Every structure is written in structure tokens, then in C-alpha cells.
Structure 1
């Protein structure tokens, strides 16, 4: 690490004070989901996290092999499959290093599309008592921390074969300010459309031949006419699901170049395209489940498993729920397509871990980050998480047929756009503003009003 200052500079304090205020506004505006989770498998389960004062820092004990340090990990992975994936990662870390289970303080901060975790972390950084490491999306989600200079340069961890093995696009996300500050451990795909095979067959539709987002509306009407199932499972109690659905629709209608221009702030240049995508999502809302405003995303996903819903748009973390369901086999009972119109795109949602300044346990934190970047870690973690590894040299044997197909589709993809809804494409302030716009959209389905709010978000 290049630095480990013992004091928090005034510049850092002022920047992060503003960030805590932004996180509070997000929560009040309806972006805090409570038990709904962050869109990659989080729900209302999970343990208690340290409070905003950092009173549960977890750095006062450790196993004998760990030299007295304890690795405190703050994350939002508390749903069944994702909790299992984290446990597999931690088991591997213990097996592959000199540290023991007693050297690990697993400290979840579930809920709120990551805003619950953000608030905890930002408050603890202000109090100069950060955890050893925390889960965060790489890319633009890191910029408040790099701007405030509260993440260590971890270029030494990246040196050598690890850097060579990582995909170039993921390496770029790990260094938003020009130097490495995070270790991505996975890649989720966002532009998936999952469906229940028996429901769509009963309706007489072929999901593999749906060519664009508008045609999908017609398909859902057919499903509504021919079956008793809800055409599309969805949740609207928090804004992120509708925001990520809008992203997929916009990409499918306008293309990735227009999407990238939008994320750069050129909203008015694409006014009609933004409105057309909003109108399409509004059209879809006629086919959502009646309880969309009161369920979590994974409860909606359960409707697909049970045959009560035909389809759902989600990241590939949804497949982890299918894999763990009894008598619900890939291709036979469930399948997927790229969201209509986005064939050739692989919209990416990575997770990563960082090394905060004023680190309470620098040695074990360095060891953990090095392990996260290893083949062994990514081979254990990703098959359970329902994601693909960012390293290109992780063997395929541990991955099931769905994830093997995802790896192939990533390799064949022409573009890998980052996501707004999961924090890699825009900075947290803009993301928060767009979430507020979609919180209102979920209530009113007012296209013009939401467009104006999206324009003002930048």
C-alpha cells in the first residue's frame, strides 16, 4: 500500500459528510428497500451490522495464526445462495492461508440497493473506524471514495499474473482514478430475461424469437390471454428494478452507443428514445403481478419457479434461485434469452472488495484481497453466486451449463456496457437522483414527468 495515514484530512471529511447526506436523501426518497435487497440476491435475512459510529469494528481479537488481527467484512449478501457463496469464499480463504475462522468478522449490512451499506461505511470512515474491507461495485461507485482519498492504492496486489489474467474491462473498473483500488471477484449479467418453459409453451409463444422490446409487449398479452399466469414478475416497492428494466429496454430500442451517451449526461439528445423506453416499461406494467408494490425481487422470482409468472427481467443472480429449487431444471423447466434487442450485449455488474485507509487489520486485509483475486477464490465463489469470474483462466469444470453458456456469451459479446441501477455507469449522486425519478415513476407511470426528472438527475 502506498499510504496509511492516521488522520482524516479535512478535505476528506467534508466530501464524505456530503456523501452521508446524499445517502440519507436516497433512503428518505424510497430508494432504501428495507428487505427488498440490492438486486443481486439480497433480502431481509441476515445479521446485524455495526452502527454508524463503528462500535462493532471487530478488530479487537483474532486467532493465533492471524497475529491478533481480525478481518471485518461488511457486505449485503444475506440471501440464501449469496450467503452460501460468501461462505464458500471464506472457507477457501481459511484453507489457503494461515488465518482461521476466528480471524474473520462477517458483518452484513443488508438492504437498500447498497445504500444501507453505503451509509454504514461512510459514517465509519468519518469516524476514522472503517472495517477491514467492504463490498462495493467497481467503476463510478468508487469515485466518492477515491475523490475523498480514503482507499489505498493496491497496485502491489495486482502485480504479476493476476493483472494479466483479468479481463481488460474489469481492470478498468477497478481503477477509476487511474490506480488500482479494488479487486473485482465476479461478473453478473444484467440483460437477462428468464422464463418458465411450461408457461410460455402453454401460451404458444417462442421466447427465442422475440426480436425487440415492443414485440415483448405483444408476447405478454398472449400469455395473459392464454394462461392464468402473470406475464412478467416485477417489484415496484423500490425503484431499482424498474430502472434496470428501463436500461434494458433503452438499450434494446436505441442501442449501446445511445445508452453510453445517456450515461455521460446527454439526455436531451435522446429525448424521444428515453421517453419511448419509459412508455414501453409503462406498457409492461399492465402485465406485472398485482402485488408488485409489496414484494421483493426474489419473491417475484419465486413466482416464475412456481409457474405463477411467465418471466422476469433480472441479473443472472436470479438463476442461483432456480438452481437451488427442487425439480426445476435448466432448459427443461426454466430458460433465458438476452433481453429482446440486446443480443450481442453483456451488461455487466461486478462486485469487488477494497482496502480502506486507516485499516484496522492491514495484513489480513491484504491477504484476503490477494485471495479474492486468485483462481481458487473465483472458482469457489462464482458457481455458487451465479456469476462468471473476471479472470480468464478459471477452469469451467465447477460451473454448470447455464454459467458455462454465460461465459461463452460474454466471450462472444460485442459490448459490455456498465449499469446505472447497480452503480458502475454513473456516480452515486446521479444514481440516487435517477432512483428518485423511478420511485415516482413506479407510483404514477407518468412518462413526461419522469423524463424531466431524469434530465435533472445529471
Structure 2
């Protein structure tokens, strides 16, 4: 039966096609910053210098215990529910392939801030891990341009798997034509999480906040009425602020203007960008005093403990809530779409790839085959706080929050890709924008930040 002949869940499939298509639109014609693929790697090295959210103090990626034939996996899932989700994935793989020795070799750093340099250096040296975590779409292009990823269209993507994934998600996984990645989840970015008791104490109703300016008013009220930190935001590394900028911009100016921005329209949107940066600077008055030294999950811990009111973060934060004892959805914590972004599912996808010069081709193929299964995605996503990219994964075990997210996904009218997580812009532009927001975190200088954003494109 053809994909277009399927009747069950047609509305769900239509909207899933759109989320992948949004990323695919900006993948076509990336026109990187150099004709030499190695130069583009050098351009992007800055993402590894952002300080990351390295709560483990481990730079990762050196494979100290990997032996020939071992499955070495490099990833950045080391925080809270993320680590639990990755371990759930590995448990399922071990059950299916008990003879494969796994070397878990994390390169921690928020939003992959450390993994880029680790992986780029290794693949260019001809010493890649077996597989590594990466966003499909634009983030893949430096590797495909340099012919450093294997075509897995025949070895991994069998007919059953192709039928379960939507065509546009498959397109995101094949930016140069060949299928090179296996997506495992879909995350939402435009979440505003909150501690129910703190907001009740402040007399703030999150559902009444209509726009990003209204959120500032709520932060000021929380500051005046409670001892809690109004917005548990980290500035140790720039990705969180870049991510916040994206959703404030969408909330103020809409998803269509955001798409114009990521397609290179920064010079034509100067007033809009400045307005967003001005509001971000005002939000900064309500960050934690130690925002420059904490990680996103440490900020999230403060929300769980009742010491902070709001957190803007991807829905991986929900994995941390689910793991916290006695911290119940709707009773203790809840979420609203970032003010002004109703109907938007601002999304990012994670995937795994098969690098060339692979040290364990058989084990890597087995792992990628498993990552694309219903079993893998049913184990991984409920813990990770994400929804599956396969269309046939039962939602019975996903809980009330993710079921609501899935419903929002089904009903969303816009599903734009994200800058902060690599799917919306070329890697070199992503690096330039991270640098712009690293500086903005330090000085809150709107003029300098706008000029850096404009020049990045």
C-alpha cells in the first residue's frame, strides 16, 4: 500500500510532513561558507568553545576503552532525564543484540556545544566513533559535503522503516541525496514551563499571558510577590538565549516573519530583531544571580524545588520533572506554549549516523537498525520528553504531558525549525549566531547584537 493510500491517522501524517518540510526547505541550497569542506569544519569549531553545560567535567570523545568491533556512541545526553532516556535506548539494544560491546562516550555540553569539535576532529583524522548524535538537515551538510557519512539507504532503511517515516523526515536525513541518518525523536522548543505553587503564590495565571511583553509583566510580579527566581535561565553558554530569542521573536512577530529571518532576511527585519533583543535584555533582570555559571538542568532543578517560577526550554525538561519524586504534572508543574506562539510547534529532531572509516560497521548497522524501530522509539521518547518521528509508535505509555504535546503537534499550523539546535541555518551561520549571543549574554548590547546577527547571514 502506498503512503498516499493510507487512511488511518491521515491528519497526523499531514502535519508531520510539514514539520520535516520546514527544516528541508532551508536545507536545500545551503551554499556553505567555503568551497572546501574542511574549511567549513573550521568555521564551525567555535560551537565547541562556548563553555557548554559540562556538568560532568568530561570533554568526551576520546574513546579510551573502545576496542576494535566495539560500538562507540558519542552523544551529549548527560543531564537528568536525557541520560535516563539514552540508557533506556541502550537497554533495548542490549536485549536485541547482547553480544555487542557498547562504549558510551559522551561529549557533554548544552545543545551539542562540545560535540562538534570532538567529532569534527576525529572524522577528519579518520578516527570516527561508530556513530554520533546529530541533528538532521543543515547540521549534516559539512559531513556530506566532505563525503564522511555512509549511505545507509539500503542497509538500514528497509521498506518497513521507509513506510513508517514520512517522506519529508526522510528528506531531512538525506540532504545530499543519500540517506545518511536515522531520526529518533521530535522535540518542541516553544515551551514555557512553570512551578504551579510559585505562580499561585504570586497570583499569576500562566494561561492569561498573551504575548512576550505580558511575560515580562508576570516576571516583575513574581519578583515583587515571592522570593523565587522569576525565570530560571542559564547564560553559561549561548544556546539557551539564542533559543529564547527565537521564541520571543515568534511570539512578537509570528512564524512567517521568523521563517523570513532564518532564510536570510535579517537586514529587512531590523526593527523586529531590535524589539526582540530589547525585551530579552529586560528579561535578564529576572534571571538567577548565578545564571552565568549554571547549566540548564541546574536551573530546572530550582524550578522543581520551588525556588524558581518559569523555565523556557525544550520539552526534554519534562523528562527531568517525570524523574523527580512527588513532582506531578498539572499539580506541581505545567507548561503553556511560549506567549504569542499558540499554534506553533517549534521543533528539532535528533538522529544517529554511520561515519566512513567506521571502526565497527556490523555493530553500527545493528544499532541504527534498532534506533529506527518502534521498540526503540517507544522506550526512548517518553523518558526523553519528546514524541516519535515514526507514525506507528503507540502513545499509550507517553503520559499526560506528552500526549498533550502530541495533540498540539497534530493541531499546529506552523512547525518551523530551530536555529539553536542546528536545523534552520548552515553550521557556520549557527556558529556566528552563538557567538553573537555569547556576547549579548555578557553586555546586553542591542546595537552590537543586531549587527552581529545581520552580518552572520
TM-score normalised according to structure 1 size? 0.88
1:136: Cα distance to partner? 0.6
Q: Map Cα deviations across residues 165-212 of structure 1 (whole Å, 9 max, x no partner).
A: 124443332122233110010111110000011111111121112111
CA distance in structure 2 between the aligned counterparts of 1:148 and 1:27, rounded to whole angstroms:
20
**Which secondary structure does the structure 2 equivalent of 1:262 belong to?**
helix
Spell out the pairing of 1:344-383 with structure 2 (5 A cutoff).
344-383=343-382
Report the equivalent of 2:121: 123
Contact persistence 2:48–2:117 (CA under 8 A): no
Report the equivalent of 2:51: 32
Contact persistence 1:50–1:57 (CA under 8 A): no
| Structure 1 portions without partners, runs of 5+ | 1-13, 37-42, 61-68
Report the equivalent of 2:300: 301
Q: Map Cα deviations across residues 277-333 of structure 1 (whole Å, 9 max, x no partner).
A: 111111111111111112111111111111111101000111111111122110001
1:348: Cα distance to partner? 1.0
Report the equivalent of 1:39: none
Report the equivalent of 1:49: 60
**Which secondary structure does the structure 2 equivalent of 1:335 belong to?**
strand
Report the equivalent of 1:65: none
1:59: Cα distance to partner? 3.9
CA distance in structure 2 between the aligned counterparts of 1:234 and 1:381, rounded to whole angstroms:
26
Spell out the pairing of 1:46-445 with structure 2 (5 A cutoff).
49-51=60-62, 56=64, 58-60=66-68, 69-97=69-97, 99-100=98-99, 102-111=100-109, 113-156=111-154, 157-445=156-444
Q: 1:399 to 1:222 in 2, by over 3 A?
A: same
Number of residue pairs aligned between Structure 1 and Structure 2 = 423
Contact persistence 1:250–1:273 (CA under 8 A): yes
Q: 1:20 to 1:140 in 2, by over 3 A?
A: closer
RMSD value, Cα? 1.9
Contact persistence 1:57–1:129 (CA under 8 A): no
Q: 1:262 to 1:123 in 2, by over 3 A?
A: same
Q: Which of residues 21, 36, 39 in structure 1 aligns to 2:42? A: 21
CA distance in structure 2 between the aligned counterparts of 1:404 and 1:369, rounded to whole angstroms:
26
Q: 1:244 to 1:199 in 2, by over 3 A?
A: same
| Structure 2 portions without partners, runs of 5+ | 1-34
1:161: Cα distance to partner? 2.1
Q: 1:46 to 1:292 in 2, by over 3 A?
A: closer
Contact persistence 1:16–1:126 (CA under 8 A): no
Within the alignment, does 1:455 sit opposite 2:454 as a pair? yes
Larger RCO, structure (CA 8 Å, separation 6 or more): 2
Q: 1:210 to 1:168 in 2, by over 3 A?
A: farther
1:47: Cα distance to partner? 6.0
Runs of 4+ in 1 over 4 A off after TM superposition: none
Report the equivalent of 2:14: none
CA distance in structure 2 between the aligned counterparts of 1:334 and 1:436, rounded to whole angstroms:
33
Contact persistence 1:46–1:78 (CA under 8 A): no
